[in-house]
Amino acid sequence: MFIATFPEAKAWKLTTLCLVILLGSHDSFSFYIDEASPVGPEQPETVQNFVSVFGTVAKKLMRKWLATQTMNFTGQLGAGIRYFDLRISTKPRDPDNELYFAHGLFSAKVNEGLEEINAFLTDHHKEVVFLDFNHFYGMQKYHHEKLVQMLKDIYGNKMCPAIFAQEVSLKYLWEKDYQVLVFYHSPVALEVPFLWPGQMMPAPWANTTDPEKLIQFLQASITERRKKGSFFISQVVLTPKASTVVKGVASGLRETITERALPAMMQWVRTQKPGESGINIVTADFVELGDFISTVIKLNYVFDEGEANT
């Protein structure tokens, strides 16, 4: 639970949430990849051609590299995940103009995922989630309007209007019965009060398969974070190159990269701290692996209360 990540001290309820450490998942929706779906519009021509030639076999292999989570939204919420990385797409030649989560191939309908998260929030009135809509594919103005209306219909008054990040504490959210912060990486955010501009949730991407380079990148990013005056994501995520995929084509992301690199990545996580000079939101693939969740939660207990209230 979100509340379980914080010590019982009263000061924690007053601490702004950009100064504590929160758990997040990378490509949060990818626990379900529809192998029967077409390839996503963001995929390069080489991938499109690969699938057109090899069909279902190609998609089964793709799924091994596209799925970065195994737990559904309810499972992730129950484990303590409070930040969700969401990528939205229209489906080619879809007469219903539905919106889907997408990562190479299509996932579930967006409304189904958002309703699943809302069911958890309705049962846990003091829990708070961050929904980060950071990639949009094949979306026109109409589709954005549809997504905004969907958010209104599902979350209503649970959504916290955009304010200064430094003002967002548990006390503030609880007093106003807010449970959802929606970040929207599109100019549309400037037109809708409950959409937080994407620049208030920066997520630097290392784009490497090398754990050592990833750690160097993460550490350098922390140095830069306080210049932004926002929430901040540390993506403890390795990204496969084409050559990596070819070598481990039948094994997949989890076995080929994530599990092997986990010890080095966790060693870095254990040395981190919250506060002005620390990390904020930590995202990972396959968040249930090892002791990622329990380790991140424990980091909040070393928070110096003097720093928490600065």
Cα–Cα distance for residue pair 91/222, rounded to 1 Å: 37
Any idea which residue has 């209007």 for tokens? Answer: 161
pLDDT in tens, 74-108: 999 999 999 999 999 999 888 888 999 999 899 99
The three state secondary structure string of the chain is: CCHHHCCCCHHHHHCEHHHCCEEEECCCCCCCCCCCCCECCCCCHHHHHHHHHHHHHHHHHHHHHHCCCCCCHHHHHHHCCCEEEEEEEECCCCCCCCEEEEECEEEEEHHHHHHHHHHHHHHCCCCCEEEEEEEEECCCHHHHHHHHHHHHHHHHHHECCCCCHHHCEHHHHHHCCCCEEEEECCHHHHHCCCEEEHHHCCCCCCCCCCHHHHHHHHHHHHHHHCCCCCCCEEEECCCCCHHHHHHCCCCCHHHHHHHHHHHHHHHHHHCCCCCCCCCCEEEECCCCCCCHHHHHHHHHHHCCHHHHCC
Cα–Cα distance for residue pair 230/219, rounded to 1 Å: 17
Cα–Cα distance for residue pair 87/137, rounded to 1 Å: 8
Confidence of residue 310 (pLDDT cuts 50, 70, 90): very low
State percent of the chain over pLDDT 70. Answer: 88
Q: What is the pTM of this model?
A: 0.93
Closest CA to 87 of 173, 165, 203, 190: 203
**Is the pLDDT at 204 greater than 90, yes or no?**
yes
Q: pLDDT at position 59, please?
A: 84
The mean pLDDT value for 53-67 works out to 80
Please name each of the domains of the chain with its CATH number: 10-308 (3.20.20.190)
Confidence of residue 251 (pLDDT cuts 50, 70, 90): confident
**Is the pLDDT at 9 greater than 70, yes or no?**
no
Closest CA to 116 of 71, 52, 173, 162: 71
Q: pLDDT at position 219, please?
A: 94
Closest CA to 19 of 175, 224, 226: 226
**Is the pLDDT at 115 greater than 80, yes or no?**
yes
C-beta of residue 280 within 8 angstroms of C-beta of residue 233: yes
**Is the pLDDT at 175 greater than 70, yes or no?**
yes
7 or 309, which is more confident: 7
Q: pLDDT at position 309, please?
A: 45
Q: pLDDT at position 42, please?
A: 77
C-beta of residue 101 within 8 angstroms of C-beta of residue 150: no
The mean pLDDT value for 172-198 works out to 97
The mean pLDDT value for 199-215 works out to 95
Q: pLDDT at position 229, please?
A: 73
Catalytic residues: 26, 103
Q: pLDDT at position 11, please?
A: 60
Closest CA to 28 of 80, 78, 67, 60: 67
Q: pLDDT at position 224, please?
A: 78
Confidence of residue 266 (pLDDT cuts 50, 70, 90): very high
Chain mean pLDDT for the chain = 89
